[in-house]
Amino acid sequence: MVFAPLPQLTLTIEQGSDSPDLHLHPGGQGIWQARMINSLGVPVTLCAVLGGETGTVLEQLITAEGIELRMVGRQATSGWYIHDRRDGSRQAFAESPGTPLSRHELDELYGMALAEGFRAAVSILSGPADPSVVAPEVYRRLACDLTSNGGRVVADLSGDHLSAVLDGGVCFLKVSHEELLRDGRAAGDSVDEFVAALHRLHDEGAETVLISRAGDPALALLEGDVFEVEVPRLQTADPRGAGDSMTAGVSAVLARGGELDEAIRTGAAAGALNVTRHGLGTGRAQAIREVIKRVRLNPLGKATKSP
């Protein structure tokens, strides 16, 4: 189950051979994660709120991708953005994250996500396009209710939403080094700082922690040991979405009952392959399996916790 409160309709302008092309896709962190999980052959259910004309289009696009959709309807419009990629770079033209969910919408979404989470092997709590859309307390309650009833919760969040979900408890947390620095959870970008952050996040409520570091190897805290996650060097077409593909790869393996080391290698491979593509949360399972063979978990040892 992927908890994706308010997905976005994405409109991207690409330069065709003779004239511009317009591409419409469902987007947002939860969508990109669900798309990759689906690509890896694991059934996935997306719980979301959709509304307005953009919501009507989103409903059709999401189901067309083979993702099982559970939705709450609303009058207010869903979020959207328009990006221009005609010169090869990504330029934001206009965007809207959507208006915050009402109390009634939140109640309906919470009950739906709780029921689907009870049925699912793994639940991913993905973040909204803007923190104002859903209060952090919703994430704390959902993580707590799922975890305390035997569910396995995976989170990929930052800021107050990260703090809240840690209070609820998660079996796996993925966070980027940029988010740790921005939130003041790491004082610098050295390996030692991030290793200390791994331990602090574990102490706050995450059983296993993975820190992505853009072009540098990710760092993972796995059963008390710290590992550097080495992936093959690949040319980048679009760096966006790599972290979401990483979270999705981990979750797909855990949902199948796989081991944590396999889950981390699969997540790393999915993230590495995603940067070679323009589509966010995309990548064929066969190609990911080949990349997995080249992913290494290099132990850094049981690092000493900071005071």
Number of H helices, E strands in the chain: 10, 14
Q: How confident is the model at residue 16 (pLDDT cuts 50, 70, 90)?
A: confident
Give the phi and the psi of residue 83 in degrees, each rounded to 5.
-120, 145
Give the other-Cβ count within 10 Å of 103's Cβ: 7
pTM listed for this prediction: 0.89
Q: What is the pLDDT of residues 28-55, one digit of tens each?
A: 999 999 999 999 999 999 999 999 999 9
Q: How confident is the model at residue 259 (pLDDT cuts 50, 70, 90)?
A: very high
Residue with the larger pLDDT of the pair 122 and 271: 122
Q: How confident is the model at residue 283 (pLDDT cuts 50, 70, 90)?
A: low
| pLDDT(302) > 60 | no
Q: How confident is the model at residue 304 (pLDDT cuts 50, 70, 90)?
A: very low
Q: What is the pLDDT of residues 125-179, one digit of tens each?
A: 999 999 999 999 999 999 999 999 999 999 999 999 999 999 999 999 999 999 9
| pLDDT(279) > 60 | no
Three-class DSSP category at 98: coil
pLDDT in the model for residue 219? 96
pLDDT in the model for residue 58? 97
**Distance between CA atoms of 153 and 115, rounded to whole angstroms?**
14
What one-letter code names the amino acid at 99?
T
Q: What is the pLDDT of residues 52-93, one digit of tens each?
A: 999 999 999 999 999 999 999 999 999 999 999 888 777 888
Q: Report CA-CA distances (Å) from 225 to 20, 157, 208, 242.
A: 50, 23, 10, 24
The mean of the pLDDT values for the chain is 90
Give the other-Cβ count within 10 Å of 136's Cβ: 17
CATH of domain 2-301: 3.40.1190.20
pLDDT in the model for residue 234? 64
